[in-house]
Amino acid sequence: MILEVEELPMKEIGSFEQWLDITASEPRLLLFVKTDHCSVCEGLYPQVAELEEEYPFPFYRVNAAQVPEMAGQLALFTAPVVLLFHQGREMARFARFVQMEQLKHRLDELVEWGEEHA
C-alpha cells in the first residue's frame, strides 16, 4: 500500500546559492533539513509545516542528500534538523527528535525579536 503525502506549503531550496540569496533577503526564517529514507524526517515534516500558518515569516525545506553543500556549510550531521534564522544568523537548532513545544517557544521569540527590530 502506498500512502500519498499531501504537499505542505514550505518552499524547497534547490541549491546552496539559492540559500545564500534567501538568507540575504529574508530577515527571519525557518529551515527544515531532511534527507532520503528518513522516517523521522517524514513524521516531523507535517508537524513543522503546519506551524507556518501561525508565523509571519517563511518556512523553507531542503533535502541534504540533494544539496550536500548545505549540510557541509551548516555543519549538519543528522536529520531532521530545524534551524531558525534572524538577520542571516542561526539563532536556534533542533536536531533529530524535535520537541514541538520548545520549537514553538523559539518561534515566538523570533517573532518578538523581529518586532523589536522592525
Is residue 6 assigned to a domain? no
d(CA 38, CA 66): 14
The helices-and-strands tally (H runs, E runs) of the chain is: 4, 5
Is residue 14 assigned to a domain? no
Is residue 72 assigned to a domain? yes
Structural domains in the chain (count): 1
Is residue 63 assigned to a domain? yes
Is residue 1 assigned to a domain? no
Strands 59-63 and 11-12 come out as: parallel
83: domain CATH number is: 3.40.30.10
Range of the domain at 84: 19-116
Is residue 101 assigned to a domain? yes
Mean pLDDT of 27-38: 96
* Residues 70-118 pLDDT 10s: 999 999 989 999 999 999 999 999 998 899 999 999 999 999 876 666 5
Cell reading at 104: 514553538
Q: How many C-beta neighbours within 10 Å does residue 73 have?
A: 12
* Residues 14-28 pLDDT 10s: 999 999 999 999 999
Mean pLDDT of 31-50: 95
* Residues 46-83 pLDDT 10s: 999 999 999 999 999 999 999 999 999 999 989 999 99
Predicted confidence at residue 114, as pLDDT, reads 67
| Helix (H) or strand (E) segment spanning residue 61 | strand 59-63
Please say if the pLDDT value at position 3 is more than 60.
no
